[in-house]
């Protein structure tokens, strides 16, 4: 249906903004794509507040330069008002190269889509230091 097609197109645009803002090392643009109410969780199940998540991302943005993020074809899964995208990701920077499975979960907030969950599960090699 057209609502589903529109949602997928909008989410793909948000995904592209996520990728480009990472590569541009534009933290503010990157964080604007995330919900202020993320459902990101610590390994013990505790929710991570937005400001804590932003600080984690800020450290990541500070640690890696010359970032290149390549994404495979995303697989969409809808669950109620949420969409999960799962795809292969190759992350390349001055210090590290990883390959694995990226999952981003989106929810509609206002007129756009925001990321409420981000996960990366590396496959071999886990991390290749340069």
Question: What CA–CA distance (Å, rounded) separates 19 from 115?
Answer: 13
pLDDT digits (tens, 9 = 90+) for 97-110: 999 999 999 999 98
Q: Which of 62, 5, 58 is nearest to 34 (CA)?
A: 58
- CB neighbour list of residue 71: distance below 8 Å, 6 or more residues apart: 15, 19, 87, 88, 89, 102
Number of DSSP helices (H) and strands (E) in the chain, helices first: 3, 6
Percent of the chain residues topping a pLDDT of 70: 90
pTM: 0.87
Q: pLDDT band for position 38 (50/70/90)?
A: low
What's the pLDDT at 89? 96
pLDDT digits (tens, 9 = 90+) for 21-33: 999 999 999 999 9
Q: pLDDT band for position 124 (50/70/90)?
A: low
* CA dihedral sign, ordered 19, 88, 86, 53: negative
What's the pLDDT at 50? 86
SS3 35: coil
Tokens 């609502």 found at: 3
């Amino acid at each position: 249906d057209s609502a589903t097609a529109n949602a997928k197109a909008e989410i793909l645009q948000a995904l592209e903004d996520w990728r480009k803002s990472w590569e541009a090392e534009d933290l503010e643009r990157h964080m604007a794509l995330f919900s202020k109410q993320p459902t990101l969780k610590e390994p013990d199940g505790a929710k991570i507040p937005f400001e804590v998540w932003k600080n984690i991302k800020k450290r990541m943005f500070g640690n890696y330069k010359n970032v290149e993020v390549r994404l495979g074809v995303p697989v969409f899964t809808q669950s109620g008002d949420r969409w999960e995208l799962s795809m292969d990701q190759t992350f390349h920077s001055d210090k590290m190269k990883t390959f694995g499975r990226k999952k981003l979960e989106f929810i509609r907030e206002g007129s756009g889509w925001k990321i409420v969950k981000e996960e990366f599960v590396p496959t071999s090699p886990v991390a290749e230091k340069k």
